[in-house]
Amino acid sequence: MNTKFAKIVLPAVLSIGTVGATALATTASAATTTTVKHAKTAAKKHAPVAKPAVSLSGTIVKAEATKYAFWFKVGTKTYRVSFTAKTSITGGTAASLVKGKNVTVKGVELGKTSSVIRATSITA
């Protein structure tokens, strides 16, 4: 009985196992390829849309000159303004942007809520 098992059953089991392992490797390879293609396609579909430039005038309600940011109110809406050391500031410096000062900000709105502005120039 042991010789029949060794001659007939054992080779059959090994060959079926090899076919299963090959099928599994092929399936895993195909799944990886599909995932990579999907990731590349998704990245191309969602390119950022450029927003138009804005020019707003209002009063500063909070300032953090060391972080290159301040908040100012235009009517009932409050905007957060971020700027850099290279941003053109007419009529003062970053240190002169203090609470209560009237300013005009030119820049681009960021984000979906349009309450954050990256300033290109500030008139104090």
Structural domain spans, the chain? 1-47, 53-123
Task: Determine the pLDDT at residue 115.
Answer: 87
Task: Determine the pLDDT at residue 27.
Answer: 54
pTM: 0.57
Query: What span, in angstroms and rounded, lies between the C-alpha atoms of 29 and 19?
Result: 15
Query: What span, in angstroms and rounded, lies between the C-alpha atoms of 56 and 102?
Result: 11
Task: Determine the pLDDT at residue 110.
Answer: 85
* Rounded average pLDDT per 10-residue block, the chain, 124 residues: 62 60 54 55 58 89 90 92 92 90 92 84 91
CATH architecture of 53-123: Beta Barrel (2.40)
Query: What span, in angstroms and rounded, lies between the C-alpha atoms of 70 and 40?
Result: 38
Contacts of 50 (CB under 8 A, 6+ apart): 108
